[in-house]
Copies of this chain bind each other. A is one copy, B any other.
Amino acid sequence: METEQVLARLRGLGRRLTRQRSLVVEAILAGERPQSAEGIYQRCREKDRGISYPTIYRTLEMLVEAEVVRKLHFGGSKYWYEAAWQREHHHHLVCLECGAKEPIMVCPRELIAREAQRNQFKVLDHQFEILGICKDCQGR
């Protein structure tokens, strides 16, 4: 969860350490909630005016492969990224009004395991997100 650890891990995978990569890692670790590529780009740009979108995307993809980052989507047209190490495996309550993404720790894992077994399906991943209106947005 520390930036240094992540960078060391990348180094271990044979990747070079660059200013840009450090910035992306910092941005990801700094955010408590899933962030869009644009959000990460903006955060990084505060420290390095010249950082580019291709670098953001390439680095995020690399971090996903290194299992440092999880890539999510909630039904819109874009992907969201969050640190995979901040907390344990979880899902979200996604508010369609304000966009809030509240983590929830429950997961239908037994259900998944049972269904996979029934179908001799090898599970690699799963999507589970609850969409609706958050408490705050319900009061108009």
Of residues 81 through 105 on chain A, the ones whose CB sits less than 8 Å from some CB of chain B are 93, 95-96, 102, 104
Q: Is A14 part of the binding interface, using a Cβ–Cβ cutoff of 8 Å?
A: no
Report yes or no: A125 in contact with B131, Cβ–Cβ below 8 A: yes
| A106 to B119 CA separation, bound complex (whole angstroms) | 13
Q: Give how many copies assemble into the complex.
A: 2
Chain B residues closer than 8 Å to A116, beta-carbon distance: 93, 130, 132
Given contacts A124-B132, A125-B131, contact A104 B96 (CB under 8 A): no
Report if A111 contacts B (CB, 8 A): yes
> How long is the Cα–Cα vector from A13 to B112 in the complex, in angstroms?
39
Interface string of A112-139 (1 = CB under 8 A from B): 1011100111111111111111110010
